[in-house]
Amino acid sequence: MLLTEQAPATPKNTLGCVLVVEDEAIIQEAIALSLREEGYSVLLAEDGYSALQVAKTAARLDLVILDVMLPSINGLDFCRILRHEGNNVPVLMISARGNESDRIVGLEVGADDYLSKPFGMRELVARCRALLRRSRRDFVATNATVYKFGDIIMYPDECRVTINETEINLSPKEFRLLDLFMSHPRRVWSREQLLEKVWGVDFVGDSKTVDVHIRWLREKIEVDPSDPKHIVTVRGFGYRLG
């Protein structure tokens, strides 16, 4: 059986989406509660097979908390299959069998960290945070389609932007504007070019639309929107980044 649950759409839940795979209801609930309180979205599965379905279909998955002893497909096999399919989502394995060889097997099948039951929820949350931080850093280091400008990091494939490691919410138009700037630093764009690239050639309206969206974007990414340092106005021409 599979249950999915999404935290309410507050800015806090952008911290990440965690799949909790655990067949013991009390432990599953306790983990889910702690994660939601920390601001994560939580997906739940009670056996390995359902968990694989969630891992394949979830719109977003940043971390898996995985019990070893599970019905249908156990945690070790789940992890093997996941890695075999090329899914590199971080996995935190949890098990009542806390001896050294179990830990080693867990790490060998592709888990990123291992925690023995019983554990405190604060420790679990701290480990989750560390894994998520690490995977984001690795992503920045290895993926060519990440743009960096000062403190701004843009992950175009994930439609995600962070400033000083805090995620910001952009509208689709703001995102596409910033994407254009970040992928062409210091290039000057005229209002007409921005209209065509972001709104499309069929857009009926004038270039003031661009100014309005630039203002909104500046309010989200500039320290002082009235004195922008990132998206600057090039008088008589348009805008550029940097």
Q: Shortest Cβ distance from residue 71 to Ca ion (Å)?
A: 8
Question: Tokens 């992503």 sit at which residue?
Answer: 139
Residue nearest to Ca ion (CB): 69
Q: Which is nearer to Ca ion, 47 or 174 (CB)?
A: 47
Q: Which is nearer to Ca ion, 48 or 228 (CB)?
A: 48
Go through the chain and tell me how many residues it has: 242
Pick from 73, 44, 210, 223: which is nearest to 151 by CA?
A: 223
Binding site for Ca ion (CB under 5 A): 23, 67, 69
Q: Which is nearer to Ca ion, 23 or 222 (CB)?
A: 23
Q: Shortest Cβ distance from residue 130 to Ca ion (Å)?
A: 24
**Whole-Å CA distances, 176 to 118, 200, 214, 216, 217:** 46, 11, 11, 13, 11
Question: Tokens 């971390």 sit at which residue?
Answer: 63
Phi, psi for 49 (deg, rounded to 5): -65, -50
Task: List alpha helices for 155-207, DSSP H.
Answer: 172-183, 191-194
Question: Tokens 């800015």 sit at which residue?
Answer: 11
Hey, how many other C-beta atoms are within 10 angstroms of the C-beta on 26? 8
Q: Which is nearer to Ca ion, 46 or 174 (CB)?
A: 46
Q: Shortest Cβ distance from residue 24 to Ca ion (Å)?
A: 5
Q: Shortest Cβ distance from residue 61 to Ca ion (Å)?
A: 21
Q: Shortest Cβ distance from residue 175 to Ca ion (Å)?
A: 41
Q: Which is nearer to Ca ion, 27 or 107 (CB)?
A: 27
